[in-house]
Amino acid sequence: MRRIIASLDVGSASIKLIVGEIVRDKLNVLACVETPSEGIKKGYIINGASALEAFQETFKKCESILGIPIKKVIVSIPAMYTDCFLSNGTVSVSNSDKVIKNEDIVKAMQKCVYNKIAPNRELVTVLPTSFKVNEEVVNNPLNMIAESFIMKAIVVTVPKKNITGINEILNTLGVTLVDVVISPLGDYYEHKNKDINHEIVSVVNIGEETTTVSIFNHGILTNLEVIDIGGNAITSDLSYVYKISLENAKVVKEKLALAHTRLAQPNESLTFVDKYGENVKINQYDASEIVMGRLIEIINLAKKQINLLTKKEISYIILTGGVTETIDFDILVEELLGNTGIIGNTLEIGARSNKYGTAIGMIKYYNSRLKLRDAEFSILNSEEEEELSGNYLNREVPDNSLLGKLFGYFFDN
């Protein structure tokens, strides 16, 4: 069976749905769609009817591209009030040859969370950090011989309310929520490389309404915080200063302004009608000055939050989110962060934009979890896969338990 995974990134500005196929550890994007968010604020459902329509439109668009229905997805959920804590689980190796197998690692993960999660919280993931086998600390105990072993892991949980609204809408649509992911995990898996994997790094995602700051130590999420400011603050600033509508302010932000004034041109301009009915001419330099000021504030707030989240030295700060694609954003990052700052770069064909980085990374993250237990997975059955292949050939352009619900791929299939 082919490994085909669908990820749904529920954002304040838009809902992104991506279907990808993993072939030899390479991700091929089969479909990528985006729909404006309605009834959603900071990832939470605040108007069920409006959100349902937005979800329906998103799935309709994607299914029209693939030619088949999508009935299983992994979903991003709000990272607010995420808790990361260190836990451990001891497991006796039950098989007769005493060789540690994938199912033994799954049992150790269960031990790490058993009776350790409050009733009002849900499990997001268990991230193994090390294993102690025969008094030796190792990174991977598979195929080692032992009577028992100890797993140390980071357990990540969120409040139940972070999941409930989204899950209810998916149930209404007849779509199964296979697993949940918080955006920092997706962001990290999209932008990591061999060097970053061995360092302490921070990932800063500047979203529409919030900025998420997370800390990764050798690839393991250890802490995060959500700052209550995002790209829409820039839109509001432009709207307030020039007395224009938010829609026109967004045009200024996306089509005229730069992230830094260094290369901004005073003779480049756009004209709009303000709220008094008068024409207002906005030049690139002045607009860029407003955008730059707000971006400096956001990045400095992120730097301050990093210092609060960890006392360890950060090797890299990775910045991602749609705002990071603003022209000359790299100049600003170099001034504020020096060589430490890295702008994420989502390059997958069919989803080549940082606004899709989280959804792409979610697929890569989920695939890594499947590999941990040597499991196959597809959102499609064999008949649907055959139909999908046929559709592409015809185109011109190529258990209700906590673990069962949210970590089910380790125990099912």
Clarify whether residues 300 and 200 are in a common domain. Answer: yes
Clarify whether residues 281 and 147 are in a common domain. Answer: no
Specify the 3-state DSSP secondary structure of 412: coil
Clarify whether residues 108 and 204 are in a common domain. Answer: no
Which of 294, 311, 345 lies at the terminal end of a domain, its last residue? 345
Looking at this protein, which amino acid is placed at residue 285?
Y
Inside any domain, residue 394? no
The CATH number given to whatever domain includes residue 150 is 3.30.1490.110
DSSP summary character for residue 382: H
- Nearest one of 94, 97, 117 to 107, comparing CA atoms: 94
Q: How many CB atoms lie within 10 A of CB 396?
A: 4
Inside any domain, residue 167? no
Place of tokens 């005229």: 256
pLDDT at 56: 97
Q: Which helix (H) or strand (E) holds 226?
A: strand 220-227
| DSSP annotation string for 253-282 | IIII--SSSTT--TT-EEEEE-TTS-EEEE
Distance CA 384, CA 69 (A): 9
Clarify whether residues 140 and 213 are in a common domain. Answer: no
Clarify whether residues 245 and 112 are in a common domain. Answer: no
Inside any domain, residue 326? yes
pLDDT at 412: 39
pLDDT at 25: 83
Inside any domain, residue 72? no
Clarify whether residues 154 and 204 are in a common domain. Answer: no
Looking at this protein, which amino acid is placed at residue 52?
L
Inside any domain, residue 57? no
The gap from C-alpha 147 to its chain's centroid, in whole angstroms, comes to 38
The CATH number given to whatever domain includes residue 279 is 3.30.420.40
Give the pLDDT means over successive 10-residue stretches in the chain (413 positions). Answer: 87 94 90 95 93 97 93 94 94 91 89 93 91 92 93 94 94 95 95 90 96 95 96 97 98 97 97 96 98 98 97 96 96 97 94 95 91 74 70 48 38 38
pTM for this model (two decimals) = 0.87
Inside any domain, residue 135? yes
Which of 101, 136, 159 lies at the terminal end of a domain, its last residue? 159
Inside any domain, residue 351? no
Q: Name the domain count of the chain.
A: 2
| DSSP annotation string for 101-136 | -HHHHHHHHHHHHTT-S-TTEEEEEEEEEEEEETTE
148-159 and 83-92 beta bridge pairing: antiparallel
Clarify whether residues 245 and 341 are in a common domain. Answer: yes
Clarify whether residues 146 and 206 are in a common domain. Answer: no
Clarify whether residues 146 and 227 are in a common domain. Answer: no
Which of 143, 159, 175 lies at the terminal end of a domain, its last residue? 159
Inside any domain, residue 252? yes
| DSSP annotation string for 158-180 | EETHHHHHHHHHHHHHT-EEEEE
pLDDT at 392: 54
Clarify whether residues 229 and 341 are in a common domain. Answer: yes
Clarify whether residues 199 and 318 are in a common domain. Answer: yes
- The whole domain housing 218 covers 194-345
Rg (CA), the chain: 23
